């Protein structure tokens, strides 16, 4: 079984990707410092997979930790999820974000070059497009100035990867630009586990449904969209996980010094109000929500053109928005009980 290092593998997207990797015949080796996840995720993963998962607790900024893991598991590729991701916090503590998100990529690339580990899939984000002029966004839609230090770390990391490949370091890279991951593993054993107040809509919705939050505020209903609320492209986390497996397979077929970038979304936009109403309908729950003022810096509407990932990687989403919202609620209920 080919081993793949998953940095941040105990986190939301990383843990679901570990499941999909194993299904596809890879062995995931997780490295996580649990700064934004819990060690119980590793036990839950083992329950889903039916065997123990290799996990190292450590910081991927530390080359010594990478050395130790490599000496025990000769991984042939890396999926680099580990990063801080709270947009608001990044504006208050930008150095924390640059140090972890940019610093860890540099340490990792250095290490990969030294050991001859060739394949890396990087977690980028649709945030690099900012407020796009034309929709849907393709991979060649111009990137805009980042709205936050967090967003900037994603742009900088993409640029570092491009330059590193150009330097003939012998490495093969795919950056995946995620749109809005939602949902949870259908078993309800793993899912998104935000620390404190959720930054993302769906955990806010599920926590409100569970009575943990009093109500949801919809930030603006007077935008130029079907119902006035903002539009996003919500992608089930299991589909997103599968995109990583497809990306690794594709990297395997490429020659050295390869770089490419793919959008990972459904190709459809849904409004915030549509999410609330669909959640209510699918789960037969009434949500307490109200309309508030617009939020500074919010992108009004964005969704992906997925032509490239469909045709090049042969990747298509399998889950519907209804599946996502059902699975998210199922996961939240398991957390409460």
Using CB under 6 A, list all residues that contact ligand NAD. Answer: 7-8, 10-14, 31-37, 59-61, 81-83, 85, 100, 104, 123, 125, 178, 181, 200
Q: What six digits make up the tokens of 34? A: 């649990």
Minimum CB separation from ligand NAD for residue 166, in Å? 23
Active site residues: 150
Nearer to ligand NAD by Cβ, of 259 and 284: the residue is 259
C-beta of residue 90 within 8 angstroms of C-beta of residue 149: yes
Minimum CB separation from ligand NAD for residue 41, in Å? 8
Nearer to ligand NAD by Cβ, of 181 and 220: the residue is 181
Q: Which helix (H) or strand (E) holds 7?
A: strand 2-7
Q: Which helix (H) or strand (E) holds 329?
A: helix 321-336
| Integer angstrom CA distances of residue 146 from 105, 143, 156, 216, 278 | 19, 8, 10, 27, 31
Q: Which residue is nearest to ligand NAD (CB)?
A: 11
Nearer to ligand NAD by Cβ, of 224 and 230: the residue is 230
195-204 contacts, C-beta under 8 A, 24 or more apart: 195/36, 199/85, 199/86, 199/87, 199/88, 201/232, 201/272, 201/275, 202/234, 202/275, 202/279, 202/324, 202/325, 202/328, 203/328, 203/332
- 3-state DSSP assignment of residue 166: helix
Nearer to ligand NAD by Cβ, of 157 and 171: the residue is 157
> How would DSSP label each residue in 27-38?
EEEEEE--SSS-
Nearer to ligand NAD by Cβ, of 209 and 237: the residue is 237
| Integer angstrom CA distances of residue 288 from 64, 205, 294 | 49, 9, 19
Nearer to ligand NAD by Cβ, of 203 and 220: the residue is 203
CB atoms within 10 A of CB 35: 13
C-beta of residue 272 within 8 angstroms of C-beta of residue 204: no
Cα separation, 137 vs 330, whole angstroms: 32
Q: Which helix (H) or strand (E) holds 263?
A: strand 258-264
Question: Across-strand partners of 30?
Answer: 6, 55
Minimum CB separation from ligand NAD for residue 286, in Å? 26
Minimum CB separation from ligand NAD for residue 168, in Å? 26
Minimum CB separation from ligand NAD for residue 147, in Å? 14
Nearer to ligand NAD by Cβ, of 67 and 256: the residue is 67
Minimum CB separation from ligand NAD for residue 240, in Å? 9
Cα separation, 204 vs 217, whole angstroms: 10
Minimum CB separation from ligand NAD for residue 16, in Å? 8
């Amino acid at each position: 079984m080919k081993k793949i290092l998953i940095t941040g593998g105990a986190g939301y997207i990383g843990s679901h990707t570990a499941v999909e990797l194993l299904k596809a015949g890879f062995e995931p080796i997780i490295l996580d410092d649990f700064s934004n996840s819990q060690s119980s995720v590793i036990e839950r993963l083992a329950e889903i997979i039916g065997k123990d998962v290799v996990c190292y607790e450590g910081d991927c900024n530390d080359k010594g930790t990478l050395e130790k893991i490599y000496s025990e598991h000769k991984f042939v590729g890396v999926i680099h999820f580990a990063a801080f991701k709270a947009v608001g916090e990044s504006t208050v503590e930008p150095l924390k974000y640059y140090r972890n998100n940019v610093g860890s990529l540099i340490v990792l690339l250095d290490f990969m070059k030294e050991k001859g580990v060739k394949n890396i899939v990087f977690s980028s984000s649709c945030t690099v497009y900012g407020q796009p002029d034309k929709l849907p966004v393709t991979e060649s839609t111009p990137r805009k100035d980042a709205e936050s230090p967090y967003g900037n770390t994603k742009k900088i990391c993409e640029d570092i990867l491009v330059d590193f490949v150009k330097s003939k370091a012998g490495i093969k890279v795919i950056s995946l630009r995620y749109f809005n991951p939602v949902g949870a593993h259908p078993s309800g054993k793993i899912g998104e586990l935000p620390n404190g107040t959720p930054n993302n809509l769906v955990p806010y919705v599920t926590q409100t449904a569970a009575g943990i939050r009093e109500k949801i505020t919809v930030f603006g209903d007077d935008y130029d969209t079907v119902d006035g609320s903002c539009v996003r492209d919500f992608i089930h986390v299991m589909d997103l996980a599968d995109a990583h497996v497809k990306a690794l397979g594709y990297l395997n077929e490429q020659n050295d010094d390869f770089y490419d970038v793919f959008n990972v979304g459904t190709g459809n936009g849904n409004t915030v109000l549509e999410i609330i109403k669909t959640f209510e309908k699918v789960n037969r729950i009434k949500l307490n929500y109200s309309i508030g003022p617009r939020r500074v810096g919010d992108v009004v509407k964005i969704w992906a053109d997925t032509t490239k990932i469909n045709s090049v990687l042969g990747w298509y989403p399998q889950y519907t928005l209804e599946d996502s919202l059902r699975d998210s609620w199922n996961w939240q209920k398991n957390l409460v009980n």
